[in-house]
Structure 1
């Protein structure tokens, strides 16, 4: 009886749970008994043969070349290899005195016809894999073009089966939104945000606390805005799933990540961390606690000494709110202009403008595809421009959707007017995160020049001509939400 090794293989762990391995082993045993062979050792593997590098397969070949068996019995050629590199390793075994056997094919590798037939079957096995890969990619791209994500749902979404969009997870989706809100507040680095989300109970797919890399992945994934981004091919597709965050907030987070300078680990959540910049070098003013006070300093060596204490900065902010306080007369005129705007064609004009801009971007997307097909642009430039247009389109579509939600009641408008006529009092009442939110929405280009803070009111707040109310519309919803959270009426 000739001593041989037996090799059985399936492509996945799931297949290994079925009868395929047992069926291969039974067929090999019958073949061995009919051909006076003895299987002295079995090698079992649950790994695809499309690529070389299977550990069990390579271990078996090493032992065969060491002369530990005189033959190798496999069920079929495609069980041994589906790539020509591994097949070459099998076909050269006779050089080491080892004869390959195939239980289902009955091929004799010692004859010219047998070797030719085996080589042809190996080529067919490899071609099958290539064709299967192409068909899978074609199917995946078809799903992507339908707006469906054919892979595992990102953290915060649930899988609902093939052909169905992902849906926000009731438990994790609010935590994803919280992660974006916390990072957008400017009071967290990636490290401190990871610790915060761990406290909040955000876990990955295995149930473990989300890692630093996991937080990074969440913050850079546009899937949460409704877009599908395939990083390997650098392609972007509009999704049909419900977004968790707005494109505006996603873009803000990307800008903060790209321009973030400062400590990687936040020891203290200082009130105005990351909001003020040096008026000379435009770098962030870094907060430091010394004794009982917090100081904001420019750390650039070449800059003149530029520093301000937090309590003094807070008083200056309060004074700035006093200067831009909207009078009762202005508030009354704002209300009148608002009602006129709602009841005239101005709002319709804004809507038409957005729709025209959306149609223009969609047309540019189509022309971009034609340009690629005509060879006027390379694939990399096409994909980058396509992603940029997709982000711009999503932003405009959000604005269009928000505009449709501005049919607010007169009571809501009255609440808002009461809020913005009491900005100094509101600043005193708010929590630290809410103070930052209010400051960012009321002032822009915040800096410290010669140890003095400089405030530039946002356009909607600075203007006393309330004819252009579109910027105000964008602020109304968040401010009313802030008002409701504080219980201020």
Structure 2
């Protein structure tokens, strides 16, 4: 009798386990995450769904945007979250691995992982696919092993080229940083002299100043831009239709991929890798379509950013932030900066050149 009772108990437990697993599989197929919601979301017990935490989701979005700028460490993001009340339950701020997990979690962009496989969720994304992809690039870049050079790289390295065509390097002598040609050419013997960092800084500041946008001009342009948002002449229909066709094509590929996996034509690792690629590609296209259909002004945001950037150049030129000057100079001139006879020379991009001409004519 005891053996029969044990047998019935085991049958009941096995049956319950199988039913639970079947329920979980069906749940994930429906796009419902079967686990605890990550920070920024809440588990709605009444509706048995996951909803956005209106307060914490805004903080998480700002943390992603901050890290995407590639100027913050994981510790900085942990401090940023802690200052806004997002910590472990005991009040201790998140560790680096926890921050890395949050920043690499596809849940925030509308996906979720379950048993190594990625699914498209029904929950509302809190960040854009573009920001998420940028954060993954930064994480990957910073995750690579870095070898400490004998001399730490200086800020203006990689910005200019020597007149002989070679790159520019830097070295520190008697407490000062000097930039000079790498002299790596086997054909030409370069005779260009060095230039001190302070002098190069002043030259770049003067160059940047020439392309600044006057405050009243910036205000007027931003005002005009607001009006253009309503009656933009850009028609995204062709792009939207093309993107929708691509999405349908991806859906077919996903189904074929699943069929191949079920028929055991491909390994599980290959299936998961390919599915992940297709799902992210599909999400990017859907996000672009949504943005264009909501406001047919895809050109407005870049234009607005350019106006604000040009208006901010005088402040960048005045301040001592060398990295900000490098970024602004790179934006204006690209890779056209040449160092010759201790003088930085360059040809700006067309839109910056037009701004310079307009400023000179009204001076």
TM-score by length of 2: 0.65
Q: Partners of 2:319 and 2:51 in 1: how far apart?
A: 34
Deviation of 1:356 after TM superposition, in Å, equals 1.5
Deviation of 1:162 after TM superposition, in Å, equals 6.3
Task: Check conservation: 2:112, 2:119, Cα contact below 8 A.
Answer: yes
Deviation of 1:318 after TM superposition, in Å, equals 7.2
Q: Partners of 1:263 and 1:310 in 2: how far apart?
A: 32
Segments of 5+ residues of structure 2 without an aligned counterpart are 147-153, 162-169, 180-193, 355-363
* SS of equivalent residue, structure 1 residue 187: coil
In structure 1, which of residues 358, 364, 374 is the aligned counterpart of residue 247 of structure 2?
358
User: Hey, what does 2:39 align to over in structure 1?
Assistant: 155
Task: Check conservation: 1:318, 1:427, Cα contact below 8 A.
Answer: no
Q: Partners of 1:457 and 1:358 in 2: how far apart?
A: 39
RMSD, matched Cα: 5.2
Change (3 A) 1:319 1:214: same
User: Hey, what does 2:61 align to over in structure 1?
Assistant: 177
User: Hey, what does 1:17 align to over in structure 2?
Assistant: none
User: Hey, what does 2:131 align to over in structure 1?
Assistant: 249
Q: Partners of 2:302 and 2:330 in 1: how far apart?
A: 18
Task: Check conservation: 2:159, 2:337, Cα contact below 8 A.
Answer: yes
Task: Check conservation: 1:152, 1:159, Cα contact below 8 A.
Answer: yes
In structure 2, which of residues 276, 281, 295 is the aligned counterpart of residue 387 of structure 1?
276
Give CA-to-partner distance per residue, 1:240-261, whole Å, 9 cap, x none. Answer: 1111111111111111111116
Q: Partners of 1:291 and 1:204 in 2: how far apart?
A: 48
The structure that has the greater radius of gyration is 1
* SS of equivalent residue, structure 2 residue 44: coil
Deviation of 1:412 after TM superposition, in Å, equals 8.6
1:4-403 → structure 2 map (5 Å cutoff): 117-161=1-45, 164-204=48-88, 208-230=92-114, 233-260=115-142, 309=197, 312=200, 316=204, 319=207, 342-343=232-233, 346-403=235-292
Q: Partners of 1:427 and 1:170 in 2: how far apart?
A: 35
Q: Partners of 1:244 and 1:222 in 2: how far apart?
A: 11
Task: Check conservation: 1:442, 1:461, Cα contact below 8 A.
Answer: no
Give CA-to-partner distance per residue, 1:140-197, whole Å, 9 cap, x none. Answer: 1222122211211101111112654322212211221122122212222222322332
Task: Check conservation: 1:224, 1:244, Cα contact below 8 A.
Answer: yes
Change (3 A) 1:419 1:229: same
Deviation of 1:411 after TM superposition, in Å, equals 10
Higher relative contact order (CA 8 A, sep 6+): 2
Q: Partners of 1:178 and 1:376 in 2: how far apart?
A: 43
* SS of equivalent residue, structure 2 residue 49: coil
1:409-488 → structure 2 map (5 Å cutoff): 418-419=307-308, 422=311, 424-425=313-314, 427=316, 442=331
* SS of equivalent residue, structure 2 residue 112: strand
Deviation of 1:388 after TM superposition, in Å, equals 1.4
Q: Partners of 1:371 and 1:444 in 2: how far apart?
A: 50
Q: Partners of 2:21 and 2:196 in 1: how far apart?
A: 58
Deviation of 1:347 after TM superposition, in Å, equals 2.0
Segments of 5+ residues of structure 1 without an aligned counterpart are 1-116, 265-271, 281-286, 297-305, 465-489
Task: Check conservation: 1:419, 1:426, Cα contact below 8 A.
Answer: no
Change (3 A) 1:129 1:205: farther
* SS of equivalent residue, structure 2 residue 236: helix
Task: Check conservation: 1:194, 1:211, Cα contact below 8 A.
Answer: yes
Deviation of 1:291 after TM superposition, in Å, equals 11
Deviation of 1:431 after TM superposition, in Å, equals 12
Give CA-to-partner distance per residue, 1:219-238, whole Å, 9 cap, x none. Answer: 111101111122xx211111
Change (3 A) 1:292 1:360: farther
Change (3 A) 1:415 1:395: closer
